[in-house]
Chain A
Amino acid sequence: MKSLVKEFTKGIIKENATFVLALGLCPTLAVSVSVVNGIGMGIAATFVLLGSSLIVSLIKDFIPSKIRIPCYIVIIATFVTIAELCLKAYSPALDRSLGIYVPLIVVNCMVLGRAEAFACKNNLISSFCDGLGMGVGFTLALILISAIREFLGSGQILGYTLFKGFEPVFVFGMPSGALLVIGLLLGFFNLLNNKKT
């Protein structure tokens, strides 16, 4: 039980996909304009991650190791298609604002990385915990980044204005603002780590 909790929590802080491993940055940068987008992308990616981790760990003994990557990709692509269709059906507005970045979850290195590094070697339950932890960590990172960007770029959080008279810094709503926020956050976390050691 204890190890399961560990599998879950490591993905949130110690091996956070975004800030520590620097994986899956394309969607992080692209959709983090607003918190709603961030949460939506986080949930979609977590769903794909969970599903693919489960299936991969279930059928890991039947996959020939030579063609394992194509197999993983097919499994992942299946879940991405499910997520895509669900989004289109239940939340067309979110689907439009996430755009091509939903199908691109297929090539998100975080998802494939977990299949290759963890799910193909571990049993069902710990793969589930690992996938969930990674997904939650990814979602939290997305929320952090998109909250910073939405507040600075439009003066709002989740559509609510926080301070009156704050002049929004438009650049944070733009691509270069996304790169800047990620760069500064990575530097900031490095700084914290250096202080500790």
Chain B
Amino acid sequence: MNLQELLTIFISAVFIYNVILSRFLGICSFIAISKETKPALAMSFAVMFVIVTSSAITWLVYRFLLLPFNLTYLRTISFILVIATFVQFVEMVIRKVSPQLYRAFGIYLPLITVNCAVLGVAVLNIDMFFANDKQVAGSFYYSVFQGVCVGLGYTLAMLLMSGIRERLELCNVPKAFKDFPLAFIIASILSLSFMGFSGFNF
């Protein structure tokens, strides 16, 4: 584990292979909730939190349950169950402990279970940091770090998009392109401009 490796993961997860703009994970929530900045930001934090914790949990599940018992074919089903349970649990805890926090982003938590970004990162971590059913060195830390970076990438795309769409409220966009179509076109231009980072190396 060294700085260079971490920087590479950071740049590629945030810009080059941005979860939303390049891997298209979580695009439904991205299009639906990016109309205003405040909910967009709350959603992003919720997603980031769930992604980071679930990449740690699914890594542990895979390494200490699925691998030793030769159950790797149950990856999809066990991951989605673990994530769903975890999200449900967090929602209950937040509702109990801090109603204020619950109102701020608890309402987005149930949606996050079916957010492809969460499961996507979990599967991606396994694909990237396990070689032939053996963990690569520092695999756990890389997985968690990749979770953080993907969350940051999600937040970045959400923030930019919500800022732009709030401004578009004041523009007379052609009727046929209002809302969804234009959101996709903006995402496309964002994706084009993030391509400036492709081929990055230190």
Contacts and interface: CB of A to CB of B under 8 A. Distances in A.
Whether chain A touches chain B in the assembled complex (some CB pair under 8 Å): yes
Interface in A145-197: 171, 174-180, 182-184, 186-188, 190-191, 194
Interface residues of B, number: 45
Given A77-B80, A104-B120, A29 B27 contact: yes
Interface string B17-44: 0000111111110010000000000000
B124 A77 contact: no
Chain B interface helix/strand/loop/mixed: helix
30 contacts: A22-B28, A30-B24, A73-B84, A73-B113, A77-B76, A85-B73, A104-B119, A106-B119, A107-B114, A107-B115, A107-B116, A107-B118, A108-B116, A174-B191, A175-B24, A176-B192, A176-B195, A179-B21, A179-B188, A179-B191, A180-B188, A183-B177, A183-B183, A183-B184, A183-B187, A184-B185, A186-B181, A187-B176, A187-B182, A187-B185
A37 to B, nearest CB: 13
Contacts of A174: 191, 195
Interface of B: 21-28, 31, 73-77, 80-81, 84-85, 113-116, 118-120, 123-124, 127, 174-178, 180-185, 187-189, 191-192, 195
A78 interface: yes
Nearest to A192: B176
Given A78-B77, A184-B185, A190-B181, A29 B124 contact: no
Contacts, number: 129
A43 interface: no
Interface of A: 22-23, 25-27, 29-30, 69-70, 73-74, 77-78, 80-81, 84-85, 100, 103-104, 106-109, 112, 171, 174-180, 182-184, 186-188, 190-191, 194
